């Protein structure tokens, strides 16, 4: 019987709140707080049990501390934006509340995201005997836990990992992003990067393309991108020689993105419009469909997972571990499409394991540093079943 404070009432916040509400045996009291309290109230209105709502400015540590001290949660799930990671971690540290998030810190004025500033909390969390769990969404999150599970149970050594994120969903709009457009577009227009033999190698944005036949979806174009989970996985998976990340995009999506880029709409540099300064990307976010509105329109499935290639009992082994998630089923269950669902469900599962003392420790942890077995045992019944498919070790499906 524990109290959870959820910060952020966007697409993911909605799923997290629904899922916590489905488990009163663990989350006996729920508070959802965000910048706009009306959005918290709208989510609360979808539930069949009462929760508390509040307004909070999560950029402001004092505001957060006051809210935490008044509600006294046993765990805090941060699903606002990556810009708030440091302020919320600071507030949790000051109040002794365990912290969990789904995305690493991004400086609002630089198109750059990395764990450095969150890892810098390590000693303070350790000294305080408090726990911070970083990146517990799907990717990062579930994909890191698949890697940890493979390392613990399926391999003696993993040499190569490819993370594959496929969205076969169709929302019927010519162009929209499945989660926060600003974060999504920044991620995609950045240079691609992968890690090999201890070094980061850079590619031009979306320059490396392959085809992959996804179970439940079919053949899709996939593009090499930089993605944040590689930063911690390349340190935490022993014997790793290479790690890459791939995401599907349709030709239609890429064409729209190129046009927006060519006309300067994806820039974060503020420009003067009349007497006002505005960043084109922020403006674009305001005119694009709200990701939370895509839920009722989206049909199709996602398939996200990892291919791990390594050695078991002296022999080469290659496996694909993945989840298939259906957009319409997600909407029927929690009024949200699969992208928010696949992020919110691991966050709630991680928070449960922390509350139950199954995931425990003092310090700052990326999820692959925690025991994957109890998480993998629970995540299927929470809504994200997974499978392991053996692949031919001599065949490279990404050649």
**Contact with ligand NDP (CB under 6 A) among 47, 66, 128, 183:** 183
Neighbour-count burial of 119, counting CB atoms closer than 10 A to its CB (0-12 exposed, 13-18 middle, 19+ buried): middle
Q: What burial letters (b/e) apply to 151-175, b meaning 16+ CB within 10 Å?
A: beebbeebbbbbbbbbbbbebeeee
Minimum distance from CB of 344 to ligand NDP (Å)? Answer: 8
Write out the H or E segment, with its range, that includes residue 220. Answer: strand 218-225
Compare residues 60 and 211 and give the one whose CB is closer to ligand NDP: 60
**Contact with ligand NDP (CB under 6 A) among 76, 98, 130, 137:** 137
Compare residues 192 and 350 and give the one whose CB is closer to ligand NDP: 350
Dist CA 257 CA 176 (whole Å): 10
| CB neighbours of residue 287 within 10 Å | 8
What residue has token string 């992020």? 343
Minimum distance from CB of 59 to ligand NDP (Å)? Answer: 4
Site for ligand NDP, residues 288 to 307, rule: CB under 6 A: 291-292
Structure tokens at 313: 């009992």
Task: Decide: is 325 part of the binding site for ligand NDP (CB under 6 A).
Answer: no
Task: Decide: is 59 part of the binding site for ligand NDP (CB under 6 A).
Answer: yes
**Contact with ligand NDP (CB under 6 A) among 5, 8, 30, 321:** 8
**Contact with ligand NDP (CB under 6 A) among 2, 42, 54, 57:** 57
Please state whether beta strands 99-101 and 131-134 pair in parallel, antiparallel, or not at all (unpaired). Answer: parallel
Task: Decide: is 32 part of the binding site for ligand NDP (CB under 6 A).
Answer: no
Write out the H or E segment, with its range, that includes residue 223. Answer: strand 218-225
Dist CA 259 CA 254 (whole Å): 9
The piece of 32-40, 230-238, 246-254, 307-315 that touches ligand NDP (CB under 6 A) is 32-40
Task: Decide: is 58 part of the binding site for ligand NDP (CB under 6 A).
Answer: yes
**Contact with ligand NDP (CB under 6 A) among 4, 5, 12, 319:** 12
Nearest Cα to 235, choosing from 117, 131, 347, 151?
151
Nearest Cα to 368, choosing from 196, 229, 225?
229
Site for ligand NDP, residues 78 to 107, rule: CB under 6 A: 79-82, 84, 102-103
| Chain-centroid distance, C-alpha 244 | 17
| Pair 227, 245: CB distance under 8 Å | yes
Dist CA 47 CA 160 (whole Å): 43
Minimum distance from CB of 392 to ligand NDP (Å)? Answer: 29
Compare residues 13 and 372 and give the one whose CB is closer to ligand NDP: 13
Task: Decide: is 144 part of the binding site for ligand NDP (CB under 6 A).
Answer: no
**Contact with ligand NDP (CB under 6 A) among 22, 34, 53, 167:** 34
Give the binding site for ligand NDP (CB under 6 A): 8-13, 34-36, 39, 56-59, 79-82, 84, 102-103, 137-141, 179-180, 183, 291-292, 339-340, 343
């Amino acid at each position: 019987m524990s109290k959870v404070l959820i910060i952020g009432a966007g697409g993911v916040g909605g799923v997290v709140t629904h899922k916590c509400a489905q488990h009163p045996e663990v989350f006996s009291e729920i508070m959802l707080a965000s910048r706009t309290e009306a959005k918290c109230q709208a989510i609360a209105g979808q539930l069949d049990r009462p929760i508390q709502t509040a307004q909070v400015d999560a950029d402001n540590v004092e505001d957060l501390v006051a809210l935490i001290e008044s509600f006294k949660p046993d765990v805090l799930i941060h699903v606002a934006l990556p810009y708030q990671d440091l302020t919320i971690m600071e507030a949790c540290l000051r109040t002794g509340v365990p912290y969990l998030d789904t995305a690493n810190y991004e400086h609002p004025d630089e198109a750059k995201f990395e764990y450095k500033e969150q890892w810098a909390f390590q000693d303070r969390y350790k000294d305080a005997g408090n726990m911070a769990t970083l990146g517990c969404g799907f990717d990062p999150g579930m994909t890191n836990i698949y890697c940890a599970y493979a390392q613990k149970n399926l391999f003696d050594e993993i040499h190569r990992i490819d993370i594959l994120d496929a969205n076969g969903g169709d929302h019927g709009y010519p162009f929209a992003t499945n989660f926060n457009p600003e974060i999504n577009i920044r991620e995609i227009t950045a240079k691609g990067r992968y890690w090999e033999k201890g070094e980061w190698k850079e590619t031009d944005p979306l320059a490396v393309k392959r085809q992959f036949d996804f179970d439940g979806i079919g053949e899709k174009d996939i593009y090499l991108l930089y993605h944040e989970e590689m930063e911690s996985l390349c340190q935490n998976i022993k014997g790793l020689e290479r790690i890459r990340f791939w995401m599907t995009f349709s030709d239609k999506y890429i064409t729209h993105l190129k046009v927006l880029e060519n006309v300067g709409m994806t820039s974060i540099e503020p420009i003067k419009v009349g007497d006002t300064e505005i960043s084109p990307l922020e403006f674009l976010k305001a005119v694009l469909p709200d990701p939370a509105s895509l839920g009722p329109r989206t049909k199709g499935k996602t398939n996200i997972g990892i291919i791990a290639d390594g050695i078991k009992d002296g022999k080469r082994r290659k496996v694909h571990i993945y989840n298939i998630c259906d957009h319409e089923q997600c909407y029927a269950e929690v009024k949200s499409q699969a992208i928010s669902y696949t992020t919110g469900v691991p966050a709630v599962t991680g928070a449960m394991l922390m509350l139950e003392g199954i995931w425990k420790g003092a310090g700052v942890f990326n999820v692959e540093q925690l025991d994957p077995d109890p998480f993998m045992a629970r995540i299927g019944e929470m809504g994200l079943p997974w499978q392991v498919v053996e692949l031919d070790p001599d065949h490279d499906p990404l050649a």
